[in-house]
């Protein structure tokens, strides 16, 4: 019973943090691009093999250490460039990167995703969903 209460408390706090991210204003910080990195991993979809590459900018002078961006923002910046980085307050999700007034990167749809996940987690913590059993234990 105590474990179930702790799980519900944890899920409720997670849901609250997600919803706070949606409604709190984002933080804007000036930073310097410290370095670029990319990682390529194989991706198997159906009967096709392909590769997926993720591009990351690392920052100096910001609470946000790095941000996954698209290829255009990755190629448009050089090490040492001064940029303005916007991120969320609690989970530090990178929402946009600007350089000299021009928008280089924007994360779309994160508010909707956070609102949906936060609402679902809060409803689960309040016990709105049906109970289910996991490994012989009843989980709320």
**Alpha-carbon gap, residue 7 to 18, rounded angstroms:** 17
Pairing of strands 27-45, 82-87: antiparallel
Q: How confident is the model at residue 2 (pLDDT cuts 50, 70, 90)?
A: confident
User: For 25-54, what is each residue's pLDDT tens digit?
Assistant: 999 999 999 999 999 988 777 677 788 899
Q: Average pLDDT in the 54-82 region? A: 93
Per the structure, the count of domains in the chain is 1
> Domain span at residue 85?
2-139
Using alpha carbons, select from 83, 47, 45, 46 the residue that is nearest to residue 66.
83
Pairing of strands 102-106, 132-134: unpaired
| Rama region for 102: left / alpha / beta (φ>0; ψ in -120 to 50; rest) | beta
């Amino acid at each position: 019973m105590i474990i179930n209460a702790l799980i519900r408390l944890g899920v409720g706090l997670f849901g609250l943090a997600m919803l706070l991210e949606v409604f709190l204003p984002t933080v804007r910080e000036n930073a310097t691009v410290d370095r670029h990195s990319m990682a390529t991993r194989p991706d198997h979809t159906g009967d096709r093999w392909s590769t997926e590459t993720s591009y990351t900018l690392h920052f100096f002078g910001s609470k946000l250490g790095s941000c996954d961006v698209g290829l255009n923002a990755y190629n448009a910046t050089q090490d040492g460039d001064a940029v303005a980085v916007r991120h969320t307050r609690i989970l530090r999700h990178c929402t946009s990167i600007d350089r000299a007034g021009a928008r280089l990167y924007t994360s779309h749809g994160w508010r909707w995703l956070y609102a949906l996940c936060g609402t679902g987690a809060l409803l689960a913590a309040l016990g709105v969903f049906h109970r289910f059993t996991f490994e012989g234990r009843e989980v709320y």
